């Protein structure tokens, strides 16, 4: 398990880096706790909206390099920064860029951002990722609301002594993704005419992509989408009691009987296109989260 003091130090550094005029929104007696967002591969347009600022709430970008103990993402498509701002009057702290197990990082490093955002006061987490579609009815370029997950990474961020102030030794995982937030996302997508599928995400360590035999097996296990992130961060978030909404951007389609390579350039290009739909969806969902 992560060292709680490391997280506390990072939270302190984050607060110290916050411009004075944003203190009132994020700390001193703020009436809405910030919503935490993790932005996955190529899914950055939401950060641009936060940085554009809103009346009374300018945006700010705080690089991970300014935050004590915050691990820096190792691949080019992931920038490392917290971006803070407001959407529809709701304060948001977004983690732009994340660490992955496939970079050789450990679960504590992978989950540091989520634990820091929780320490900063977030009670809800929206987590996004790029994923391959396993459900043959899903199309590349669409979004999927995660209904449940399979942790097939072989590790857990909760292994080791439990930190009781964060959560229980054996946290419940019977309802990982919040039903009210899923419903809100599905209704909002309908209103905005954005196609939003619903399904199970399987998280692997990677970095190698899946073979046809593995793809067939994951589909038979009940997974609708496959990726290399999210599951550990969500376990850490649920341990901390955060309510979680997960959205995958389906960047490619994996059918075991006609597998084709899915190079990173293609994944990034599709994520960049779908990222605009994702930003529109999340802006509307977050605005409505005041009540949810
Ligand atoms: N497999 C694993 N991770 C991914 C994929 C995939 O097909 N697409 C995007 N991330």
pLDDT at position 29, please? 61
Say if ligand 1 is within 6 A of residue 228 CB: yes
Specify the residue with its C-alpha closest to ligand 1, atom 6: 132
Domain of residue 276: give its range. Answer: 4-291
State in Å: Cα 206 to ligand 1 middle.
Answer: 9
Query: Is the torsion defined by CA of 200, 205, 209, 213 positive or negative?
Result: negative
DSSP state of 178: -
Say if ligand 1 is within 6 A of residue 252 CB: yes
Q: By the 8 A CB rule, do 277 and 172 touch?
A: no
pLDDT at position 2, please? 80
pLDDT at position 28, please? 61
What ligand 1 atom has the least distance to the C-alpha of 228? 3
pLDDT at position 45, please? 83
pLDDT at position 70, please? 93
Q: CATH number of the domain that 74 lies in? A: 3.40.50.1580
Give the integer Cα–Cα distance in Å for 142 and 252.
10
Peptide bond into 216 cis (omega under 30): no
Query: Total domain count for the chain?
Result: 1
Low-confidence ranges of the chain (pLDDT < 70): 28-30, 42, 75-79, 291-292
State in Å: Cα 174 to ligand 1 middle.
Answer: 25
pLDDT at position 222, please? 98
DSSP state of 273: H
3-class DSSP assignment, residue 251: strand
pLDDT at position 225, please? 98
H or E stretch covering 245: strand 243-253
What ligand 1 atom has the least distance to the C-alpha of 262? 7
């Amino acid at each position: 398990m992560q060292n709680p003091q490391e997280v506390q130090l990072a939270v302190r550094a984050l607060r110290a880096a916050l411009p004075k005029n944003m203190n009132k929104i994020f700390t001193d007696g703020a009436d809405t706790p910030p919503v935490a967002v993790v932005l996955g591969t190529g899914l950055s347009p939401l950060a641009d909206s936060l940085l554009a600022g809103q009346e009374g709430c300018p945006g700010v970008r705080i690089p991970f390099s300014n935050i004590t103990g915050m691990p820096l993402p190792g691949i080019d498509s992931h920038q490392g920064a917290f971006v803070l701002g407001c959407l529809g009057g709701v304060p948001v702290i977004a983690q732009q860029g994340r660490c992955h197990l496939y970079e050789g990082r450990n679960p504590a490093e992978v989950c540091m951002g989520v634990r820091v955002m929780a320490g900063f006061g977030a009670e809800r987490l929206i987590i996004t990722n790029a994923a391959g579609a396993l459900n043959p009815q899903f199309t590349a370029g669409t979004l999927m609301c995660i209904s449940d997950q399979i942790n097939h990474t072989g590790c857990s961020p909760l292994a080791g002594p439990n930190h009781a102030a964060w959560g229980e030794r054996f946290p419940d995982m019977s309802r990982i993704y919040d039903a009210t937030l899923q419903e809100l996302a599905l209704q909002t997508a309908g209103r905005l005419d954005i196609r939003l599928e619903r399904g199970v995400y399987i998280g692997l360590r990677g970095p190698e992509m899946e073979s046809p035999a593995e793809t067939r097996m994951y589909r038979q296990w009940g997974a609708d989408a496959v990726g290399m992130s999210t599951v550990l961060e969500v376990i850490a978030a649920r341990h901390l009691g955060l309510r979680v909404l997960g959205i995958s951007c389906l960047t490619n389609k994996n059918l075991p009987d006609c597998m084709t390579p899915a190079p990173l350039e293609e994944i990034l290009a599709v994520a960049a296109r779908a990222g605009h739909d994702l930003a529109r969806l999340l802006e509307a969902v977050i605005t409505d989260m005041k009540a949810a």
